[in-house]
Amino acid sequence: MAAANQIHQVAAAEVFGLLRSRAEGLSDREAEERRREVGPNRLQPPSRWRWLQGLIKQFVNFFSVLLDIAALVCFVADAIQPGEGMGLLGWALFGVSVLNALFAFAQEMRAERAMEELRKFLPQGVRVRRGGTEREVPAEDLVPGDVLLVGEGDRIAADARLVETEDLLVNNAPLTGESRSQALKTGPAKGRLIESPNIAFAGCSVLRGNGTAVVFATGHRTELGKIAALSRDVRRPLSPLQRETNRMVRVLTLIAVAMGILFFAYGVASGRSLWVNIVFMLGIIVANVPEGLLPTFTLALSMASLRMAGRQVLVKNLEAVEALGAVHVICTDKTGTLTRNELAIAALLDPVRGEPISDQEALRSLLKAALVASEVRPATANQGSSPGWAGDPMDVALADRYGELFGPPDDIIKETRRHFPFDLAKRREAGVFANNSEVLFAIKGAWESLRPLIGRLQSGVYTAAEADEDALAACDEVVHRLSAGGQRVIAVASRQLDSLPDPKAPEESLEPGLVLNGFLALDDPIRAEVPAAVARCHAAGIRVLLITGDHPDTAESVARDCGILTADASAEERILHGEDLERMRERDLVERLRAGVSVFARTTPEQKMKIVTALKRLGQVVGMTGDGVNDTPALKSADVGIAMGVSGTDVAREAADIVLLDDNFASIVSGVEEGRAVFANMQKFTTYVLASNIPEIVPFLLYVLLPVPLALTVIQILSIDLGTDLLPAIGLGQEPPERDSMQRPPRRLDQRLLSFRLMATSYLFLGLIQAAFSLSLFFLVLHQGGWQWGQELAENAPLYRSATGITLATIILMQVGNVVGRRSLRGSGLDRGLLANRILLLGVATEILFSWAILYFPPVQEILQTGPVDWETYALAWLGIPLIFGIDYGRKWFLRGRTPQFPPPS
C-alpha cells in the first residue's frame, strides 16, 4: 500500500485507519479480496529460465569442456580420415559429457525439490485475529491489514506495524546482519523504516515477550523480499567436500592433459604420423580421466542421505553427510535430546519441611500460583501439546495436573491479566491474576533467581514462616537433593496485591516480599539408548559436551547417567557455570576446554556461540545442536548445525545442515557413523576406479616407445570407465560402516580425499599389477599367433583383435579381485559377506559376463573390435582375480598396525 513507507511515523491509534483495518481484524471476505489483489505471502519464485541457466552451467564446467574438446578433435579427425572409428569415439566422448552434465543437473534439481519437500514437512502457521476471533492460518494467507499476533519463538511472516507490545524483544539478524537483540515499542518513530523500533520485519524472530501488529507488506514487498530479489542469483560458496572433489578432478585432468601433450610432442619428434599422434594423445587423456567418478560421488552422498533419513536424520545439505563424520566434538542440549522431553510433575514440595504437600488447599494454592506465572492457551487443531492445552511442556503439565486434582483451570488462565515472559537472564517468569475477590502476583523459576526475593515461607494454608538464613539454607538443601537426583526444580512464589497494578509497572516493582509457595520437582527420563551412544562417541574419539540451562546439580546428574562425566570426574573441574562463562575471556575458556570441562550449566543460548568459537580455536570440528531462535548463530558457526525436528523452531531448522526427526542424541551418533562410512567409501571407490587407469595408460606408452601394437583402443578404455567400472564403484559407495569405524579417532582436517597414499596404492601398486598381468597375456596371444617383434598388425587382423580382447577381459576380471579387496580398508573384504551388497554383487556379475562377451559374443566383438581366444588362455585371465586380491591382502597384512587409516587429530 502507498502508506507503507510512512507507517512507522504515525501513532499506534492511527494505524488501523491507515491500513483500512480494525482491532478485531479483517473479515474472511476482506482477506480473500486482498489476497487476490496482492497475491500470496511468499517470495517471488526464481526466473522460469533458472533451470536452463543451471543446465548450461553443467555443460561449461572444466570437466565437460575437456571432453567436448576431445570429441571435437575426434570429429575433425574422422572428417580427415573417415572409417577409422574416430567418429564413434567422438560421439562416445560427447555422450559422456552430456550424461555427466545431465546427471549433475538432475542432482541439483533434486536438491531444490528436497528443500521444497522440507518446507512442506516443516509448515509455518501464524496466529491472526480475523472477525474478532484468534485463529492460526498458513503464513501464505497473510494480507495487508491482517492483525498479527506474535510471541516468543515465532518467526515473523510479514512486515507489520506494532500496536501493542509486552516486553517484546526481537532478533533482526536476518535483515540487518547484527545478532544483537532489539526491544520494540508502539510509539511513532522518525528516520528510515528499516531502523524503526515499532516495526516487526518478515524473517526476523521473537526472542521474548509478545505483541499485536498490523501487516502492511507481504511477499516480495517486504524488506526481506527486496533483499531476496537482489541476492536470489548469488552463488553459494563451495563446501569443503566440493572444493576437495573439484581439486581431485583438476589434478587428475591436469595429469591427463600434461601426459597427452607430452607424448604427442614425443610422437611428432620421433616422426610418427599426425594421425597416430592424435589417436595416442586422445587415448592418454581418456585413460587418465575417470569419466564416471563424479556421478559416483554424488550417488554415494545421495544414498548415504537416504540411509540417514531411515535413521531419523534429515540431511538438508548433501556435503553435511561427510562433515558429520569428521566431527571431533558434539555439543548437545539436554531436554529432548538426551532426555525424552516428557516432563512429568514428580512431586509438589512444602518449602519448610521439604516433603510432598498433602493438604489439598495448599496444593491448590501452589498450582494456582504456578499457573498464573505460566503461559498456556487452549490447543488448536495444529497444536498437539496436550488434548486441551498448548504452550511450554512444563506449563501444559501444570495445567493438566491442576485439572486432574481440581478440575479445568479455565478461570485461572482466563483471569490472568498480565504475563511477564520468561527472562533468560533472570531465569524466571511471572503473571498477575485478578478477579472480584483477589489480585495475585505470582512468579516461578530457578531457585537461585527467586531466593533473594523471598520474605516468607508458606507451610500449609495459613502458616507462613520468616525467611531467615537458616530457612533459606534448608531450602538450598532441598533443591540440591532433588537436583542431584536428576530432577528439574522450579520454585514458585506469590504475593497478594491490594489492586491491579499499572499496566506499565515493571516486574521488579512487584517482586519484593514474596511468599515461597513451594517447589515443583519435574522428571524428564534419560532416553534408554543415550548412554550407549555416548560410549560409542568416546570410543570413536569424539568428545561430548552437555550445554544446558538447568541447575548444575541436575546437569551433573544427567551427565553422569549418560556417561558424559565418569564416576571419578571432579565436578569442580568438569562443570562450568553460565555466570562464570559470561565473565570468562575466550583464551581462558580455551584453557578450560583443554583441561577437560564437559558440562555447561545455567547457560544461555547466546553463550553457545562463545563455546563454538573456543572449540574452533582448538582446531576442532564442531557439531552443535539447537532448537531455539537464539541457537541460530551457534548452528551457523558450527561446522555441522543440527536442529531438532520435533521441538525446534522454524528459524533453527532453516539455519541447520541436519534436522533430527526424533530429537534423539543416538540419531546423531548414527549420522556420525554414516558420515565416516561415506568418506571411507569415497576413498574405496576412488582407489578402485583409478587402479584401472594404469593398465589403460601403459599400452599407449609402450606403443609410442617400442615397436609393438597398441594393446587397448580408446573405445575399449571407455567400455571400462563408463561400463564395467560404474556398478562396482556405486556398490562400494553403498558399503555399510566398517565394524571398527566408531573405534577410531576422527580423521585429520588436512587428510585429503585424493592423498598421495591413495594415488600410490592405485597407480604404483594395484595399477602396475594389472598392467603387468594383462600385457603378459596380450603378448602371449601375439606370440601364440606367430607375431614377431616390430611387426605391424592391421586393426582388423584377427590376431590383433584377439590380443586386445584378452587384454581388455583380463583388466575387467582383475577389477573383480580389486573391488572385493577395496571393501575393507584393513581386512580382506571377504569377511564382510559376499552377498551383503547386492549392487556390488550385480556389478561383479556384470564384469564377469562382459569379460566373456568381449571374447565370444559377436555383437560385443563388433562394437569393441575384439576377437576370441582359446579357453585355456581365457582361464589364465581368471587367475588375475586371486593374483591381485592375494597380493593386495598381503600388503594390508604387512601395513596393519603400522599406519593408521585415520591419524589422530592434531
| Cell of residue 17, nine digits | 485507519
Cα gap 399→376, rounded to integer Å: 8
Cα gap 201→162, rounded to integer Å: 10
* Residues 6 or more apart in contact with residue 398 via CB below 8 angstroms: 345, 367, 370, 371, 374, 376, 520
The cell 519463538 sits on which residue? 153
Amino acid at 286: V
Helix, strand and coil percent figures for the chain, each rounded to 5: 55, 15, 30
The sign of the dihedral angle between the CA atoms of 224, 225, 228, 229 is: negative
Cα gap 281→87, rounded to integer Å: 16
The cell 583380463 sits on which residue? 810
In the beta sheet, which residues pair with residue 159? Answer: 217
Instruction: Tell me the C-alpha to C-alpha distance, in Å, between residue 355 and each of 350, 402, 482, 519.
Output: 6, 19, 11, 10
The cell 562433515 sits on which residue? 323
Question: Edge-to-edge strand order for the sheet containing 658-660?
Answer: 313-315, 658-660, 640-644, 622-626, 329-332, 543-547, 599-601, 575-577
Cα gap 498→808, rounded to integer Å: 97
333 catalytic per annotation: yes
What phi, psi does 601 have (nearest 5°)? -110, 155
Amino acid at 89: L
SS3 45: coil
Which ranges constitute the DSSP H helices of 383-490? 393-406, 410-414, 447-450, 469-484
DSSP 322-340: HHHTT-SEEEE-STTTTB-
Cβ count near 121 (within 10 Å): 12
Classify residue 832 by burial, with Cβ atoms within 10 Å: 0-12, 13-18, 19+. middle
Cα gap 525→466, rounded to integer Å: 36
Classify residue 612 by burial, with Cβ atoms within 10 Å: 0-12, 13-18, 19+. buried
| Cell of residue 142, nine digits | 497473510
Strands 389-391, 376-378: parallel, antiparallel or unpaired by DSSP? antiparallel
| Cell of residue 410, nine digits | 479455565
The end-to-end CA distance of the chain, in Å, is 59
Cα gap 454→444, rounded to integer Å: 12
| Cell of residue 220, nine digits | 516480495
Cα gap 413→403, rounded to integer Å: 12
Cβ count near 268 (within 10 Å): 13
List 146, 333, 395, 631, catalytic entry: 333
* Residues 6 or more apart in contact with residue 225 via CB below 8 angstroms: 43, 44, 202, 217, 219
Classify residue 191 by burial, with Cβ atoms within 10 Å: 0-12, 13-18, 19+. exposed
Contact 774, 805 (CB under 8 A): no
In the beta sheet, which residues pair with residue 463? Answer: 459
Our separate counts of H helices and E strands in the chain read 35, 25
Instruction: Tell me the C-alpha to C-alpha distance, in Å, between residue 430 and each of 507, 514, 688.
Output: 8, 12, 65
| Cell of residue 644, nine digits | 531438532
Amino acid at 867: G
Strands 389-391, 416-423: parallel, antiparallel or unpaired by DSSP? unpaired
Which residues form the catalytic set?
Answer: 333
